[in-house]
Amino acid sequence: MYKSKSLGKNTFYFYEHTLSSNAFRRFTLESDLKNAIQNQQLSLHYQPKVCSKDGVIMSAEALIRWQHPVLGFISPAEFIPIAEQTGQIISIGNWVIREASKMAVKWCEYASFNNVAVNVSAIQLAQDDFIEQTIITLKKAGCNPSYIEIEQTESALMDNMQDNIEVLKRLKQAGFTLSLDDFGTAYSSLSQLSQLPIDILKIDKSFVDNCATCEKAHMVVKTIIQLAANLNMKTIAEGVEDKEQLAILNSEGCFMYQGYFYSKPLPVEEFEKLLAQQIRHVS
């Protein structure tokens, strides 16, 4: 019944043995997630955001990882929806901001490094005290709000649009950088985009994948970059995997990129080594 409901209305689903195993796995994850922070099972990896023109690391996106002691690596695509459905995303999200702000204070001492980006759930954004609690967290770490970039997905912002716009305006007034993730993958209108106090549009990987081999895909990427420029926004391309894609993005004026062509998401120690190498090279 629950599987059928999850697939949408007016449908049905026959029982399979895998349903029992899936239900047990979900129960295990939901239960163990409650103590994952205290048990130090969660960690943040950081993927460099790089200037398209000169390859200098200008920022990093904090990406959460869960290493379960029995089940091993659990994908965020699996446990984040559980966290959102159970409300655990609030404590997890607070932990992410706390950890990311510590790193931001340290890394923003480098002249070329601007901020650390964190993904914020729509559930977090809807909390009445989200902004106040976030600012308190940053103050404890000695972190300026300008050192933190708040990423929101397009689909999440489309729900409760007007309320979300007001929250984003207050975040921007507080000094945070705001970015719109997965742009172009949801059903939003340009009129709605023009209302959002966004600093950065992130070009989704699905558009980047074929931009060097398909003229139409190239034109879509070009249009997004031009649209962002016309709205006084910068662009970051996600999922860049080869030099041909980077060349297209650079030629069209994309500001930054991230992806395996430069680096996969890295543990703190490895990211710091990469950042240190860059500083020595520049010096």
Query: Tens digit of pLDDT per residue, the chain (283 long)?
Result: 555 665 666 676 566 655 557 788 899 999 999 999 999 999 999 999 999 999 999 999 999 999 999 999 999 999 999 999 999 999 999 999 999 999 999 999 988 899 999 999 989 998 999 999 999 999 999 999 999 999 988 777 777 778 888 999 999 999 999 999 877 776 555 667 888 899 999 999 999 999 999 999 999 999 999 999 999 999 999 999 999 999 999 999 999 999 999 999 999 999 999 998 887 655 5
The secondary structure of the chain in percent helix, strand, coil, rounded to multiples of 5, reads: 50, 20, 30
Q: Does the pTM of the predicted model rise above 0.75?
A: yes
| Alpha-helical runs (H) found in the chain | 2-6, 17-33, 76-86, 89-107, 122-125, 130-141, 154-158, 161-174, 190-195, 205-208, 215-230, 243-252, 268-282
Q: Tokens 């699996």 belong to which residue? A: 78
59 phi, psi to nearest 5 deg = -165, 180
210 phi, psi to nearest 5 deg = -110, 15
- State which fold the 45-282 domain adopts: TIM Barrel (3.20.20)
- For residue 246, the SS3 value is helix
User: Where exactly are the structural domains of the chain?
Assistant: 1-33, 45-282
Contact present, 220 and 184 (Cβ < 8 Å): yes
